[in-house]
Structure 1
Amino acid sequence: MNSQFGITIATVLMGAAFSVQPAWAVRSQDYAPEQFISVLNGFGYPVSLSAPLTDPIVQQAIRDFQAQNRLPVDGTLNPPTQDKAADLARQLQNDLNRVIQPSPQLPGSQFYGKQTESAVKLFQRQNRLPETGIATFETRQRISDILNDATPRNPTTSPIAPPPTTSVPLGNLYNESEFRFVLRGLGYDINPQRPLTDQPVVLAIRDFQQRYGLSVNGRADQPTQEKAAAIVRNMRFSLRVVLKSDLPIDRYYDTPTENAVRTFQSQVGLGVDGIATVRVRQRLDAEAKR
C-alpha cells in the first residue's frame, strides 16, 4: 500500500515537472557563442561576427539586448536571454515566409544564418530599403506594416516609386539633406543647406572617401553612404554605452545625436558644439571600451 502510494506520488510529481516547463525549453538547443553573436549582428547590434563573447562590445550588446527586452541584465547568455533571441529569430523567419514566400522556405529556427540573411536582403531589395541582410528596426517595422496591412501593396509592382534622377548619383541610405547633416555632424565645415554639388561639399566628400580608403569621386555613392552609416551607428552605440541612454542605434545625425554628443563633450571636458570630429569619436570609443 505504501509502495503503491509512493509510486503514485512520484508519477504525479513527474507529470507536474513535465507540465511546468521553464520558458527556455522552447529552444531546440543552447546557443554556441558564435551563434548568439550572429543573432545579435543580424538584429543590428554593432558586433563583429568574429568577436569572442568576452569582447567588451559584445558584452555591452548583450546587456543592451537584455535591457531592451526587459530581461535580467548581466551580460551573459542566461536562459531567458537565449529564449528571447530564439523567439525573435523564429518570428522573423516565419514573418519573412509569409511576406516574400522564399523557396525553400525558412526553417523557423532560432539561428540567424546565411539563409535568413539572404531572405532579409530579398525583402529589403523588394521594398527599396538598404540591402544589408541585417534585420534593422526599419526593416522589421516594414515587415510588420505589410503583415498588418498598414501600407497596401501591389505585389506585382514596386512598393515605392523610384526616386527622381539627380545630377549626383546617390546611394540609397540617405537623401541629400540627410547626408549633408551627417558630413557636418562628423566634423566637415559645410553649409547643410547647400546641394551635394556645392564645391565645399564635394571636397568634404572626397576627404571622407580618402580617409576611409574609398574610391575618391566626390559623390555620395553607395559605398560612401554605407561607411558613413557604419560610423554613425557605432558612434550612437558608444554614446548609449557611455551615457547609459536609450539613444536608438541608427544611421542619422539628428538632433538627439547632436544633443548626446554635447552631453559627452561636456562630461569629458571637450569643446561643446555637438560635432563628432575624429578626436571626439576617438575619445568616445576609448570611454566606451572601459
Structure 2
Amino acid sequence: MNIDKDWNRRFAGPVLLAAVTAACLSACNSESGNPKETGAATPAAAVVSETKKEQPINILTPGGFLLPGLDDVPELTENPIPEFLRNGVEHPVVASLQERLMNLGFMDNDEPTNYFGNVTEAAVKTYQRQNGLVQDGIVGPETLNSIMSPSAKYYAVAKGVQGDDITRIQNRLYELGYLANAGQVSGTFGDETEIAVQKLQEVNGLNVDGKVGRQTINLLYSEEIRPNYLTYGEKSDVVLASQQRLKALGYLITEPDGAYGNDTVTAVKQFQSRNDLVVDGYLGPSTRIALNSSEAQPNGMGLGEQGDSVTRIQQLLNKYGYLAKGNITGYYGEATEKAVKAFQSRNGLSSDGAVGQMTMNKLTGSGVKSAGASGGSGSDSGKGGTVKGGSGVSGLLSIARSKLGSPYVWGAKGSGSFDCSGFIYWSLNQAGVRQSYLTSSGWRNVGKYTKISSFGSLQAGDIIVVSGHVGIVAGGGKVIDASSSNGRVVERALSSWWSNNFICGWRIFG
C-alpha cells in the first residue's frame, strides 16, 4: 500500500465523520417525511453530495455498516499530512496531536497550535518511552495511532524510568520534604524516589503504590498538598532556629518560641515570596536551605503590598500611635507609608516609608519611641491603589512584549526563558508589583487583586486564568503568554479556546 495515500486516508476519516453521519440522518429522515429536512442542504450534507455517486450511504440496520470502509475514504488532496510529523513541521494536524498529548498529561495545557516544536517533541518522546516505542520524538503512523487510540494510557512513571520529567517530579518531592537532600534529584526514578512517592501518597490519602500517575501528579502542584516537613502546630528546636533566622531577616514579628503558629506561617510565606520559592507556608528543605543562606533576601514592604504581614505592621504602628485604627486594612497605602516615615524619623532610621529589615527589627524590638499623638490621617482602603514602580498597564504590557520569542521551559521564571506562571511572576515583579511565584492552579484563588468572573469583562493588563494555564490580557482581543504549544512567549488572539477554558481573571491595576 502507498504510505502517503494510506496516511491521508486515515486522517480523512475523522474529517468526514460529521458529514457522513449527517447524510445518514438526512436520508433516514427524508424517507420518514421529516419536515425539518425539507429545507436547504446543510454544509455537511453538501460535502457528502459531492461524493454520493461514488460512495453510496449504507442503510442503517443492526447488521449493516454505519460508515464507509477505510479504503473507500477519499484522499486529502489539499495540504496533505506529511508522512512523518517532527520538529519544525507546521500543519493543522499538529494541533490535534498537541491536544491529545495535553489530555493524556504529557504536555502542559495550552491552546493547541499547528507548530511542532521542542516542547511537542519532548512530550512525544515521553509518550514513546512510556509505551515502548522508538524514543525519537518523531510521529509516524505507529506513534500516531498509539497516541490517538481510545485505549491510550495517561502519563505515569515508576521505578526504573529516567528523564527530565523525573527531575521535575524529584525537585517537587524535595521541596515538600519527601526527598531528604538535593543529591537525590538525579533524573532517575530509583528506590529513594519510590519511597518518597509512597510516603507522599500515604500522607495525602492516595493509593500507596509508589507510582506517579494522574492523581499523584495533579496532587504535587495542588494547593491541598501536605508536605512531609515542618508545618503549623509543630514545636521543636528546628522551628525555634528557623524563627530566630526569620526574626533576624525582618519577617517574624513576634518573639521566637519554637512553636509553629500563625505568625510563623505568615513569616515563612513572606520569606518564600521574597526569595523565589513556592509559597506554601511550609518549612521544607529548600526553604530552610534558602533561609540559612548568606544570600537570603531580607524583608521589605512598601506601597501596593497587601496581606497578613501588612496588617501586623499596621497593628504595631497603631500600638505606638503612628496609625489610626481605622487604617488597619491589610493594604499598604499612602496613610501607612506616612506612618512608617514618621516612625522611622522618630526612631533614628532613614525615612523612606518602606519597611525593610532595620525598620522591622526596630518596630518589633524594645525601646520603641511612640508618636506621642494619635495616628495619621488619610485612608488605606481599597485594592489596587498605587503600585510600587508606577508602571501601570502600559508598563506591564511593554515588559511582557519585551520577552516575545523567549523559549518556553517548564519551571523557568526568567529572564531568558519561562513557563506560563513563571512569565506572569517575572513580568509583574518587573512592573513593580510584588507578587510571589504561583503555579497556574495557585492563580485560581490568589485573592490579592480584584477578581474578574466574566470573560467578557477582561481588560488590558488583567491576568487571565484558564484550565492549567495563565496569560496577560493585551487588549484588542489578544493575550501575551509563555506558550508550551508554540514553544515560546507569544502574543496571540484570545480565541474561543480561552473563553471555553476560562476560570477567572485578576485586575492588577485600578
Give the TM-score normalised by structure 1: 0.31
Give the TM-score normalised by structure 2: 0.20
Structure (1 or 2) with the greater helix fraction: 1
Q: Which has the higher contact order (CA 8 A, sep 6+)?
A: 1
